[in-house]
Amino acid sequence: MSEQTTHATGAPVRIFDTTLRDGEQAPGISLDVKEKLEIAEQLGRLGVDIIEGGFPITSQGDFDAVKAIAETVGAQPLAQGADQPPVIAALARCHPDDIKRAADAVGPAQHGRIHVFLSTSEIHRHVLHHGASEDEIVAQAVEGIQRAREFTDDVEFSPQDATRTDDEFLKRIVDAAVEAGATTVNIPDTVGYAIPHDFGATIGDIVRRVGPEVAVSVHCHNDLGLAVANSIEAVRHGATQVEVAVNGIGERAGNCSLEEVVMALATREDVLGRRSRVRTREIGRASRLVSTLTGYPVQFNKAVVGKNAFAHESGIHQHGVLQDRLTYEIMSAEDVGLEGRQIVLGKHSGRHAFSAQLEEMGYDLTAEETKRAFERFKELADKKVEVTDADLEALVADEVFAYTEEAFELDRLEVTGGTVSQPEATVVVRRTADASIHEETATGDGMVDAACGAIRQAVRPWVGATPTLVNFNVAAVTKGIDALGDVTVQVEVDDQRYTGRAVSTDVVEASARAFLAALNKSMRLQRARDDAARSPMDTP
């Protein structure tokens, strides 16, 4: 299948990406402005039509991230062949403060959208809107849409929990939203309740109801594992926009998966007659980047981007694929950007070759970021014979995206003991803000436990709380006994969870660095909350 080949009979389906808003709401994910911007830039290269950058009223950090995305990704096209940048959207409740804050955030974009929502199902109205009547909800929706139209002519309205909303009331509020000026009506399956047959029929009714001048969107959750199926059925019944997240991340069981919807449209264009504008060869990199920065690993058997998506173990399957790939593959790894030359960088490689490879991979680092990444690369090259693209992506994410001026640094880690004697770890942790250091020693049930225990004791004077390791995951970045160990942890501090990630050929070292990275994030976000409390957001 060629990425450029198209025989679609209908207009392309618009891809509305909510990785940075709904996707970030997955437990344990907390992206800072720099990380959000990096993902947004890749979404721009991917060619999605709309990027929902966040929910600006929720925090100063979310506002800053949406505004930064609007100023950069929303200012010029990043996708090859695109004639305009993606629309930058921000979420808002039907409340004046929310809408003004969203408008200010997306204002710098060439095309900004305000996405307003209001709950409409009986249970949501009772619990979230203090028992508001249908008339009151309609009035609030109309007022919110009209206020949003004061700032932009691109307004999307979502009746939250639409699939559990009374059919007649859903039709009524859709009609009211369109009359009030909504240019896109989104029908969210907020709790993953829908079944494809019924959902498709509902969407078909709404498409006929609003006419061709209003876009009909769907936003499906995966609680029953049907998010992609429901979205495709909606497209089959006339939906013109699908809301997705990279790797399907999001609340509970997650959102409709970008890569699965896009490749379903591309692969079964013969049946659906529709496809998207997404540059499918950028999908693999988008998946890896989101996984790296969120700390959410991609399951091996994940459709399209999983490690085993194009792997064949059965002898019969191997024989068939060797004779003709189409025997057992309906798409190729190359279609989604999972092929590619594996570079051979080693300890003799210089800064120029290193920098050139990063540029070829799409990274635009500052001189200081390149310097730090190169230093980590040389350390790694002394331990590995070859350093691959995947190693470099993991290294850059670990060294550059996780770096902050306020970060704690691990100056020294020594671990003794093991299977015979109880493991003991000694660490020296430095705080870069004032160069003060703490050295501590701790024992544990294993080497990782001992290392994290020693760090916990060392940072206690700075953190002021007892951080607890609640989740731990380790995976190999590449194959071989010298593979990088990619460790992701979740650490709880004051009832809040923070994700940390690090890579090293030594799993214990990677675990210690990941634990420290999570603590860095907790301190950084606490500082942001304190700053916001001292300087309240300027809203009307």
Does residue 95 have a known ligand-binding role?
Answer: no
Alpha-carbon distance of 112 to 104, in angstroms, equals 10
DSSP 8-state assignment for residue 247:
G
Kindly state the tokens that stand for 473.
């995951």
Does residue 445 have a known ligand-binding role?
Answer: no
Q: How far is CA 437 from CA 119, 134, 143, 391, 411, in A?
A: 51, 60, 56, 30, 9
DSSP 8-state assignment for residue 192:
S
Q: How far is CA 320 from CA 73, 246, 328, 333, 531, in A?
A: 44, 31, 7, 16, 61
DSSP 8-state assignment for residue 431:
E
What is the phi-psi region of residue 362: left when phi exceeds 0, alpha when psi lies from -120 to 50, beta otherwise? left
SS3 362: coil
What is the phi-psi region of residue 161: left when phi exceeds 0, alpha when psi lies from -120 to 50, beta otherwise? left
Reported as half-sphere exposure (CB side, CA atoms, 13 A), residue 194 has a value of: 31
Phi, psi (deg, nearest 5) at residue 410: -90, 100
SS (H, E, C) 93-147: ECCHHHHHHHHHHHCCCCCEEEEEEEECCHHHHHHHCCCCCHHHHHHHHHHHHHH
Alpha-carbon distance of 195 to 210, in angstroms, equals 23
Does residue 301 have a known ligand-binding role?
Answer: no
Q: Which of 139, 189, 192, 197 has the alpha carbon at shortest distance from 159? A: 189
Does residue 255 have a known ligand-binding role?
Answer: yes
158, 219 Cβ separation under 8 angstroms:
yes
Q: Where does residue 518 rank: exposed (0-12), middle (13-18), buried (19+ CB within 10 A)?
A: buried
Q: How far is CA 343 from CA 281, 347, 376, in A?
A: 18, 13, 17
Alpha-carbon distance of 86 to 247, in angstroms, equals 20
SS3 286: helix
Residues making up the binding site for Mn(2+):
22, 219, 221, 255
Residues making up the binding site:
22, 219, 221, 255
